[in-house]
A and B are shown apart, each in its own frame.
Chain A
Amino acid sequence: MKERISTLMDGELFEDESEALLSRIKLHPEAKHEWQTYHLIGDVLRQPDHISRDISAALRERLQIEPTILAPQSRVSKKIRYFAMSAAASLMALALVVWMSVQVGSEPAAQMAMQQQSSAVQTASYSVSPSYAVNKGMDDYLMAHQEVSPSTDVAGAATYIHTVAAR
């Protein structure tokens, strides 16, 4: 049933098949739920702004329900099932990217640094590098700082990401 709905969503069913499936969906509450879920996925892909905050929980649940394919199947249905699973999995990533992009400013850090420095008290000119990856020896300072900074206390090893990201 799931893969039939998925195929229907993709517009890959013949008209009579679609009608038959739609009337079955109306009769079966479980299929109706499935139909709604697929539409939710579609909606989210089209309108990331209106993503539900709790969507990851619903998806996690969905991923667990999603059966693993063990039995041999026809080529076509495998492909469709693959689509259905990857849609759920990639939506997890999408939800996070959406959450991030909602809050992301477009200005790169270096540009911001330039702006902020112009409002700084100092009038000297500073050269701003986008990254210190080229600068050997910077790791030592970075690591030494992270050892003693109070922010490390809350975030733990996650603060080491700055050293990792600098590569």
Chain B
Amino acid sequence: MKPRIFLALAMLSSAPGVMADPARQDDQGWLKTMAFAAHLTDYSGTFIYQSGSHVEISRITHVSDAAGEHERLEGLGGERREIIRNNDQVWCYLGDGKVLVKKREGGGAFPALLPEQLSALNENYLIRQGEEDMGAGFHAHTLIFQPRDNLRYAHKMWSHSDSGLLLKAVVLDEPGHVIEQYAFTQLTIGGNIDRKWIVPDKSPDKLLDKSQRQQHQQHIVAAPGTTAVAVVSGWQVGALPDGFRKILEMRRTLREGKAPVTHLVFSDGLAGISVFIESLANKPEVRPGLYSQGVIQIYSKIVDDNLLTVVGEVPPRTVLQVAESVYFGGQ
């Protein structure tokens, strides 16, 4: 693990743009270190997630090796809820025994925190280091992202002082109410981490034992093989919230067997907003309305013959502003 972190730090110090302002370099450096740590560190632990009255206790394992990244999130308690990612492939086991196999798009290159994104970050948030603290028994640095307007949430992050790993995170709205938070209660960094669950091969048949394979064949909803192509779709956001820039535009399938949708992605450096447009002819299952899950808001509405869905880690007003100003400008 250590050489990897060393490499990450070496890459950070040589990154262009970061050196420009020494006052900012430190804070941005932390964010980048955290991003590298999230991808390169081997760790396993238990964390508590809380949003309103909703509390989840989950176990998380992350391993990075020559074959790439493998991670698993297991909900503890209740029916089986588990998500396993093996590089760009994601398996979901969510309650009803369904196994969704997805191919992760756009997740190949990391970190997504490009230099231009880091400069956007400073335009939209006042970043400062908070007090030193503890998290899961580890010494932590804290970073506070105070938004410069009310179009985004405030974030506070506790980062492990040695590895940069995120130990705690709190998201607050404008009056200072907690939208959601999570914190490791127990964390092991490096060392002997259980790897039995790691998916060894891209073929789903080979990665499961016999009983799992039977379940897989019965319930498999989709196989890998979804596609994504960069396009100029013609769809526009007329009143894009200040500070957001388009980072991706593609035509993609969300699951194999489904018709492709248009997917636009905007970011203010920290939060992301996705805009999905699909034809009503696809008979989408989503019902129009505004939905919240902690920091994430989803707003769905019908625009002409299309279903428009906006998803983002931003306040409802920001999601609505985007949704209400989407139009087809022609190709």
Interface residues of A (CB under 8 A from B): 53-54, 56-57, 60, 92-93, 96, 99-100, 103-110, 112-113, 116-117, 119-122, 124, 126-132, 135-145, 147-158, 160-167
Cβ B313 vs Cβ A113 within 8 A: no
Cβ A157 vs Cβ B73 within 8 A: yes
A93, B48: Cα distance in complex, Å: 10
Please give, as numbers and ranges, the residues of chain B lying within 8 Å of A132 by CB-CB distance: 291, 293, 298
Cβ A149 vs Cβ B289 within 8 A: no
Interface residues of B (CB under 8 A from A): 31, 34-35, 38-39, 47-54, 56, 58, 60, 62, 71-73, 75, 79, 81, 83, 85, 90, 92, 94-95, 100, 102, 104-107, 110-113, 117, 133-134, 136-137, 157, 166, 169-170, 172-173, 175-179, 181-183, 185, 247-248, 252, 254-255, 258, 263, 265, 267, 269-272, 274, 276, 284-299, 309, 311-313, 315-317, 320-321, 324
**Closest Cβ–Cβ distance, residue A118 to chain B (whole Å):** 9
Return 15 A-B CB contacts under 8 Å, by A number.
Answer: A96-B48, A100-B181, A104-B178, A108-B53, A120-B320, A126-B299, A127-B289, A131-B293, A135-B285, A137-B285, A145-B296, A148-B265, A149-B313, A152-B107, A156-B62
- Select from chain B the residue with minimum beta-carbon distance to A117: B316
Q: A137-B286, A144-B276, A151-B271 are in contact. Are A112 and B51 (CB under 8 A)?
A: no
> Which residue, A60, A124, A167, has most C-beta atoms of chain B within 10 A?
A167
Cβ B60 vs Cβ A143 within 8 A: no
- Select from chain A the residue with minimum beta-carbon distance to B324: A122
Cβ B286 vs Cβ A141 within 8 A: yes
Please give, as numbers and ranges, the residues of chain A lying within 8 Å of B271 by CB-CB distance: 149-151
Name the one of A109, A126, A131, A164 contacting B83, with C-beta atoms under 8 angstroms: A164
Q: A120-B316, A150-B112, A161-B56 are in contact. Are A103 and B38 (CB under 8 A)?
A: no
Cβ B133 vs Cβ A139 within 8 A: no
- Select from chain B the residue with minimum beta-carbon distance to A112: B173
Cβ B71 vs Cβ A157 within 8 A: yes
**Closest Cβ–Cβ distance, residue A47 to chain B (whole Å):** 20
Please give, as numbers and ranges, the residues of chain B lying within 8 Å of A127 by CB-CB distance: 288-290
Please give, as numbers and ranges, the residues of chain B lying within 8 Å of A92 by CB-CB distance: 185
Please give, as numbers and ranges, the residues of chain B lying within 8 Å of A156 by CB-CB distance: 38-39, 60, 62, 71, 166
Name the one of A60, A116, A153 contacting B111, with C-beta atoms under 8 angstroms: A153
Cβ A129 vs Cβ B183 within 8 A: no
Specify the main secondary structure of chain B where it touches its partner.
strand
- Select from chain A the residue with minimum beta-carbon distance to B34: A154
A120, B322: Cα distance in complex, Å: 11
Cβ B83 vs Cβ A160 within 8 A: yes
Cβ B176 vs Cβ A165 within 8 A: no
**Closest Cβ–Cβ distance, residue B306 to chain A (whole Å):** 14
Please give, as numbers and ranges, the residues of chain A lying within 8 Å of B298 by CB-CB distance: 132, 138, 141-142
A57, B313: Cα distance in complex, Å: 33
Q: A100-B50, A127-B289, A164-B83 are in contact. Are A151 and B320 (CB under 8 A)?
A: no
Cβ A117 vs Cβ B52 within 8 A: no
Q: A126-B289, A144-B105, A154-B31 are in contact. Are A139 and B94 (CB under 8 A)?
A: yes
Please give, as numbers and ranges, the residues of chain A lying within 8 Å of B105 by CB-CB distance: 144, 147-148
- Select from chain B the residue with minimum beta-carbon distance to A104: B178
Q: A144-B274, A166-B293 are in contact. Are A154 and B35 (CB under 8 A)?
A: yes
10 new A-B contacts at CB < 8 Å, known A105-B178, A153-B110: A60-B137, A96-B183, A96-B185, A109-B52, A122-B324, A126-B289, A137-B285, A139-B94, A143-B102, A149-B274
- Select from chain A the residue with minimum beta-carbon distance to B159: A154
Please give, as numbers and ranges, the residues of chain B lying within 8 Å of A106 by CB-CB distance: 177
**Closest Cβ–Cβ distance, residue B46 to chain A (whole Å):** 11
